[in-house]
Every structure is written in C-alpha cells, then in structure tokens.
Amino acid sequence: MTQVPDIVRQMAEHMATTVPQAASLGFKLVSVDVGRGSIQAAWREDLVGDPDTQVIAGGVVTSLLDHTCGLAMASAAGTEAFSTATLDLRIDYMRAAAPRAGVVAEAHCYKLTSTIGFVRAEAWDVDKSDLIATAQAAFVLNRPNAKAGTR
C-alpha cells in the first residue's frame, strides 16, 4: 500500500463500504494497491447459509469476491473515470468456511486492456494458506473519454 493516489484510496473506501449491497453485508476495506484490493466480510447471524453448521452463506462469498474483483479493476484503472460490468465470474469452492467465521477476499487485476480487465481472486476465513474459494472474472470497461468523438 504505497503509491496509490488519495483519490483511488477514497474510491476504494467508497466502493467497499458505501455501495448498498456492500454496506448491507458490512464489508470493510482491508487494503488497496495498484491493480489489487482486499475486502473483509464479518460473520453475522442473518448471513448464515447452513443453519446446522452456522457457516456463512456461499452467496456472501460470491458478493465479496465479485466486489473485490471490481475493486482490483478500479485500482488498476487508477484515476481514470470509467464504469465496469462483470462479463463472467467463476468461483471454485474448496471447502466450507469455519462455523461463525468471517471471510477475507483478495483480488488481483493481472491484465487490463483498453476494454477488458482480467481478475483473479482468493478468499479465506482464518488462514490465507488454507483457501475456502478462488475466483476468476472478466470485466468490460466503459471509458467515457476514450470515445469522446462518438458520444
């Protein structure tokens, strides 16, 4: 977390906490760097997916991974104004999270072309070396300034 401009950090904070779905899930920004982002979701009783085990729902992990991928995309694009849309998102669930455990996700936008961003992400509950899920996503980037002549 070194060379990120303040405006990117503010955007990251906004993305992680102010977007309605993020706010309702209680997301917290962990870190943001160029092309990278990390967000945390705490365990909550109303977010349980399996009442027998009290494990957080897969849907929360899906939202967290999608959102963290979006953050990595946004921080890769830097200060440029743009909007994104998810094209596809693949999630592999390696194991269930621990009972009553929150989840942390970390995403890396490893390639950004003029129109598409490719992102990988990982999620874990307690130990980063023991993942609960991985994700791979592609985003389309809409740069309003890129096609100024056609607007």
Partner 1 sequence: MSRSAEQLETFLQRVPYVRFLGMRAELIGDEMTAILPFAPHLVGNTFLPALHGGVIGAFLEMTALAQLSVAQPSQRMHKTIDITIEYLRPGRAMTAYARADLRKIGRRIANVHVEAWQDDRSQPFAALRGHFLLSPQGERPFQS
Residues that bind partner 1 (CB under 8 A): 19-24, 45-52, 57-60, 62-67, 70, 83, 85-93, 96
Q: Which residues contact 54 (CB under 8 A, 6 or more apart)?
A: 48, 99, 100
52 or 127: whose CB is closer to partner 1? 52
Cα distance between residue 140 and residue 51, in whole Å: 37
36 or 67: whose CB is closer to partner 1? 67
Q: Least distance in Å: CB of 2 to partner 1?
A: 29
Ramachandran angles phi, psi of 101, nearest 5°: -105, 145
Reduced to 3 states, what is the DSSP secondary structure of residue 102?
A: coil
Q: Least distance in Å: CB of 67 to partner 1?
A: 6
Amino acid at site 70: G
DSSP labels, 3-46: S--HHHHHHHHHHHHTSHHHHHTT-EEEEEETTEEEEEE---GG
Q: Least distance in Å: CB of 70 to partner 1?
A: 8
78 or 93: whose CB is closer to partner 1? 93
5 or 59: whose CB is closer to partner 1? 59
60 or 72: whose CB is closer to partner 1? 60
Q: Least distance in Å: CB of 3 to partner 1?
A: 28
Q: Least distance in Å: CB of 118 to partner 1?
A: 15
Cα distance between residue 99 and residue 118, in whole Å: 32
CB 94 within 8 Å of CB 122: no
